[in-house]
Chain A
Amino acid sequence: MDDDLPTDFEVIVVGTGMVESIVAAACSRIGKNVLHLDSSDHYGGLWASYNFDGLQKFIKEVNADPKRQWPVYNLSEKWYIEKESSEPEQNEDKKEGDENKTDDSKAETQKKIWSQANFTAEYRKFNIDMTPKLLFSRGPLVELLISSNIARYAEFRCVTRVLTWLNDRLAPVPCSRADVFATEAVSIVEKRMLMKMLTSIVGYNEEEMNNEFKDWNDKTFKEYLTHKGLTPNLIHYVLYAIAGGTDKMPCLEGVKECKKFLMSLGRYGNTPFLWPMYGSGELPQCFCRLCAVFGGVYCLNRPIDKVEIKTLDEGKRVVAIQSKSKTLNCNNLVVGIDECPKEMLPTEPVETSDISKAVFITNGTIMPSEKEPLTLLRFPPLTEEGHAVTVLEVGPATGSCPKGLFVVYFITKMVKDAESDLQQYAARIFDFSGDQTAESDKPKCLYSLYYNVKDTSVPVQSVASEVHVCAGPDVGLDFDRAVEQAEQVFKKICPGEEFLPRAPDPEEIVFEDDVTHGPEFARHDDEEGDAQ
């Protein structure tokens, strides 16, 4: 089958991560002939979502071959529940087709006691993200999805609440007016104070902002908030929850983060954030779909072995790629950093701090609410040298897990290793006893996975101008850097071309030649596609 693969393309994209996929879609959209490859058998690379089986395979694969330079390391997986259920198997679980009928009534009667076998049986209902991220409602990715019409391939849910860790407990951060009425944490006086400051932040344009804050360049955001007379509670909300910062956060950065948060309020829900249904890993695939619709050719399980730049007789340069004993040629190669052959990368490694991550699967939400919550929790650092920790809790309504469970992601900059960096935070909101029958005000953790990821988000210049290296996921909350980098790569390959112009809706496509009588309905070879 692989032998059918054509060999000459204008653009070859290797790796199906977020940046690569956006570039592939953008090139294909304006008519470039694109081939898109990935070395593994699934989409997304480090940005992928896995069902439970896929996650197990991924862990196994990394652990089996520690010598290979995996961008993921320090994997530590742990179960807190029995292998097999001690109860007699409920036959409801077997009859998957009736899932809607059974689960509701079950939830009402009794909380399910989960076993590892239950996870295995329901593996398909999990979508666990390696790079969970949110979208700002007015951020660049939302705007791009809408303007390019790629939004039709995806669905989203609103993040229902933003929480923070204040005075040793979870506290909701008031985002909407309703929240403010409901909360007792903010007094009327404080509210006015806060309003005044936030309103001014939103009002500044770039120039005014630089002007207003010119004396604050070497000072922290916390100093600024203190200077503005905010009470400690308010400083906590603004600095840790809204700006997602730490005590060391530079003033201007804090102001910009605040502005981004505030600007995205009031578009879709109570918070400024959206979460993609079925996980962040869906999003690169949406861009791949657009690329394919415009003629991009897709081939997974196709590692590349070698990349060379060849100069042809006329002085024209082509990129020649060796893959499975076939040579693929293109004018421009776009390659994800984790798929890029070493000879194409600069010899000096980029200094970065890596990322610590964790995935917890629990039997309930960290803070009960009327409807199923979708939560962003921002922890301020609990230790002197630590960083802020981002926590995302997603439930069954997002297509992330079976009913009765929640998937909770932890992300922070690495200090020591994922487990030491994150365990202390997790311990504050989960019960790790594994005893699902005992009463507890915290959800029970049933499964945990800690891991570190190399931070490959700093753009790297390849040694050849025809080879464009795409950065990996960053520690940030959103996709903004990925979108920005993808546009830059596209502009280099296709200068002067529009970046992802709106794709027409199906009803707008009018076919000129609507004849019903065509020549003989015969197909001559397999290459030609569907309509022969």
Chain B
Amino acid sequence: MAKTYDYLFKLLLIGDSGVGKTSILFRFSEDAFNISFISTIGIDFKIRTIDLDGKKVKLQIWDTAGQERFRTITTAYYRGSMGIMLVYDVTNEKSFENIKNWIRNIEENASADVEKMILGNKCDLDSKRQVSKERGEQLAIEYQIKFVETSAKDSLNVEYAFFTLARDIKAKMEKKQEASNPAPRTGGHQLRANEQQRKPTSWLSRCSLL
């Protein structure tokens, strides 16, 4: 079967509970905003394929499955991730302060060259705002990470954020390839139900069962 994309990027959403990670995910993947998802039950990851400079880029975006609540994100969640959206809620000071902790968590568990971006979500709720845009920008400068304020509800900057992150990953990847130094295949195999069974190479292949 022909591949329907040129690149596959694994992206993560990270941030405190209630900052709107799942809403951002749904806004981007389904162009929907639905407050009936009370928590993230059943949401594993979503996929959207975008067009970037003529290349099909398949984005696989993983949600935390609620494991951020008591800081119990598995190390396995970070494996193989190429980009991370750090999300806080502009109406929630604490969620902004915790971005630093999440960055520390990422440094401990994710690959060293993972691309990051900070999102200040719920910027439509200006009357309840606790974190100014300037403070968000300041934090981003401190960590040399890109930053944008978003509203999953009003569909503001969500597209922009994912496209920016994906473009940065793609650029980094192509730079590596240009340096005639293709990154060695680091991943392993995924097991699948309809796995194309290898031609039996076993020296017992004549045996009927094998």
Contact = CB atoms under 8 A, between A and B. Distances in A.
A, B: real partners: yes
A518 B183 contact: no
Interface residues of A, number: 86
Interface residues on B, range: 35 or more
Contacts of B22: 529-531
B200 interface: yes
A155 B70 contact: no
A523 interface: yes
B38 A531 contact: yes
Contacts of A158: 189
B123 to A, nearest CB: 11
B32 A514 contact: yes
B181 A262 contact: no
A523 B39 CA distance: 12
Contacts of B42: 293-295, 509
B4 interface: no
A475 to B, nearest CB: 25
Given A282-B79, A300-B72, A100 B181 contact: yes
Contacts of B69: 4, 297-298, 529
A532 interface: yes
Contacts of A449: none
Interface in B11-52: 17-23, 26, 30-47
Given A262-B210, A531-B35, A506 B44 contact: yes
Nearest to A155: B188
Contact of B192 (A151, A179, A292, A299): A151
A521 B184 CA distance: 45
Contact of B189 (A153, A157, A191): A157
Given A146-B193, A521-B122, A532 B38 contact: yes
A152 B201 CA distance: 26
Contacts, number: 242
The secondary-structure label for the interface of chain B is loop
A153 B76 contact: yes
A297 B74 CA distance: 13
Contacts of A511: 30, 32, 34
A410 interface: no
B179 to A, nearest CB: 7
Contacts of B1: none
A87 B18 CA distance: 51
A154 B46 CA distance: 17
B183 to A, nearest CB: 5
B104 interface: no
A156 B188 CA distance: 5
A92 interface: no
A155 B190 contact: yes
A1 interface: yes
Contact of A155 (B47, B74, B122, B187): B187
Nearest to B43: A293
Interface in B95-139: 108, 112-113, 122, 124-125, 128
A270 interface: yes
Given A43-B74, A277-B188, A177 B205 contact: yes
A120 interface: no
B2 to A, nearest CB: 18
Contacts of B43: 293, 506, 509
A268 B74 CA distance: 27
Interface string A256-297: 000000110111101000101110001001101100111101
A458 to B, nearest CB: 29
Contacts of A151: 190-192
Contact of B38 (A203, A507, A522, A529): A529
A22 to B, nearest CB: 15
B202 A519 contact: no
Contact of A124 (B71, B108, B128): B108
A266 B18 contact: no
B72 A529 contact: no
Contacts of B19: 530
Nearest to A102: B181
Nearest to A105: B181
B40 A195 contact: no
Given A289-B74, A513-B36, A514-B32, A506 B47 contact: yes
B210 A202 contact: yes
A199 interface: yes
A465 B117 CA distance: 50
B189 A199 contact: no
Given A506-B44, A529-B38, A531-B22, A177 B176 contact: no
Contacts of A297: 66, 69-70
Contacts of B191: 142, 145-146, 151, 154, 156, 274
A335 B26 CA distance: 37
24 contacts: A42-B75, A97-B113, A100-B176, A101-B181, A146-B191, A156-B188, A177-B201, A202-B207, A266-B200, A266-B210, A274-B191, A278-B79, A289-B76, A289-B77, A292-B65, A295-B39, A300-B70, A300-B71, A503-B44, A515-B32, A523-B89, A529-B18, A529-B22, A530-B21
Interface of B: 17-23, 26, 30-47, 63, 65-67, 69-72, 74-77, 79-80, 89, 91-92, 108, 112-113, 122, 124-125, 128, 153, 176, 179, 181, 183-184, 186-193, 195, 197-198, 200-210
Given A293-B41, A297-B66, 13 more contacts: A153-B76, A155-B79, A180-B203, A202-B210, A265-B200, A276-B188, A285-B74, A300-B70, A300-B72, A516-B32, A518-B33, A523-B92, A531-B36
